[in-house]
Amino acid sequence: DKVLVSGANGYIAMWVVRSLLERGYAVRGTVRSAAKAKFVEEYFSGLGYTDKLEIVIVEDIIKEGAFDEAVKGVDAIAHTASPFHPNAKTPDDLIKPAVHGTVGMLTSALKHGTGVKRIVVTSSCAAVLTPLPTPTVFSETDWNESASREVAEQGDNTHPMTIYRASKTLAEKAAWDFVEEHKGALTWDLSVINPPFVFGPAIHDVASITALNLSLLIWVNMLTATTPKPKDELLASNSWVDVRDVALGHVLALERPAAGGERIVVAGGPYIWQEWLDAANSLPGDPLPGHPLYKGDPSLLDGDKTYLVSYDTAKEKRILGLKLHTMLETTQDTLADIAKRGW
């Protein structure tokens, strides 16, 4: 079977492509430029995948019909391409590519993807959680209602991360609406993956540590901080998942019949930043030569731990059944990877 992966050069998507190839699928990836195509092709030919990977260029996912050619002849689609950065100047910077990219992919699949049986869209826990001051366990029944409302109220003055959360919420809603509107005319069904913060080793093209994708950059900045962080930052908490688990989650969501029509939170667990620091500092030897690991204040975790954002992952366990990486494994593998790159 052949799977189309949009934004194939991204942090998560590279691992999605790798999981697919490892499981014997043929892959057609889309990227935005020839240079990005070259990187992806070279990386996977280095792993011995030469004839099962095809990269095509889709320069502008907002353009109508952008994916019309790319969907032809594939059996399934993983749509991951969407902007995730803190530099939005206006809501449209993120919302347009997120929503039009998603609806465009579904429209192309409806019109030209005659062989497509399943589409998996990478949404986010940003489309699930509404930030609350008290510890909360969220699940797939929850929708982020606040971000798009804030964007509507504040326009260009909206915080860029709120714009991002709105972009993911609106894109996922648009996907489900599309399916509802066209039911009866579709050869495929939809499955949505909602990951929280994604950490773990990078195999995409990263020129320097400062050019890392946003979630991994935040993680690396914390672990290698050189000036002490205030207590509230060390105790700040959220939920996370390893990039390799979220990638395999996409593949299993393409394979498992029960994933059809479902949004699925794929989360490893909640964390407090100090826990990542303790995990890193518990590793033997010198995990990141040249960069002392930040210790934070381990005594902060002596009392009760408060995790602000957790997820009920019963659905993931029932439908996908992933064996998730632990915090220690993810820390070790990520630091080893960064050390190997010599950053």
Chain contacts with ligand NDP (rule: CB under 6 A):
7, 9-13, 32, 36, 61, 80-84, 97, 122, 124, 168, 195, 197-198, 204, 213, 215
Which residue, 110 or 216, is less far from ligand NDP as judged by CB?
216
Q: How far is the CB of 330 from ligand NDP (least distance, A)?
A: 13
Of 83 and 113, CB closest to ligand NDP: 83
Query: Whole-angstrom Cα distance, residue 256 to residue 230?
Result: 45
Distance between CA 262 and CA 191 in Å, rounded? 5
State the nearest-atom distance from the C-beta of 297 to ligand NDP, in Å: 25
| Token couple for 7 | 């934004």
H/E/C letters for each residue in the chain?
A: CEEEEECCCCHHHHHHHHHHHHCCCEEEEEECCHHHHHHHHHHHHHCCCCCCEEEEECCCCCCCCCCCCCCCCCCEEEECCCCCCCCCCCHHHHHHHHHHHHHHHHHHHHHHCCCCCEEEEECCHHHCCCCCCCCEEECCCCCCCHHHHHHHHHHHHCCHHHHHHHHHHHHHHHHHHHHHHCCCCCCCEEEEEECCEEECCCCCCCCCHHHCCHHHHHHHHHHCCCCCCCHHHHCCEEEEEEHHHHHHHHHHHHHCHHHCCCEEECCCEEEEHHHHHHHHHCCCCCCCCCCCCCCCCHHHHCCCCCCCEEECCHHHHHHCCCCCCCHHHHHHHHHHHHHHHCC
Provide the minimum distance between the beta carbon of 237 and ligand NDP in the complex, in angstroms, as a whole number.
Answer: 15
Least distance from ligand NDP to the Cβ atom of residue 286, Å: 28
For 28-60, b/e burial (b = at least 16 CB within 10 A) is bbbbeeeebbebbbebbeeeebeeebebeebee
Task: Name the residue nearer to ligand NDP (CB basis): 36 or 244.
Answer: 36
CB of 121 to ligand NDP, least distance (A): 8
Please, what is the minimum distance in Å from the beta carbon of residue 313 to ligand NDP?
15
Smaller CB distance to ligand NDP: residue 115 or 269? 269
Residues pairing with 271 in the sheet: 238
The residue (of 5 and 230) whose beta carbon lies closer to ligand NDP is: 5
Residue 92 CB, nearest distance to ligand NDP (Å)?
11
Q: How far is the CB of 165 from ligand NDP (least distance, A)?
A: 10
Q: Give the nearest residue (CB) to ligand NDP.
A: 10
- The CA–CA distances, whole Å, from 36 to 57, 88, 207 equal 9, 22, 12
Between 215 and 313, whose beta carbon lies closer to ligand NDP?
A: 215
Q: Which CB atom, from 158 or from 215, has the smaller least distance to ligand NDP?
A: 215
At its nearest, how many Å lie between ligand NDP and the CB of residue 81? 4
Considering the complex, state which of residue 39 and residue 307 has its C-beta at the smaller distance from ligand NDP. Answer: 39
- The smaller minimum CB distance to ligand NDP, of residues 90 and 281, is found at 90
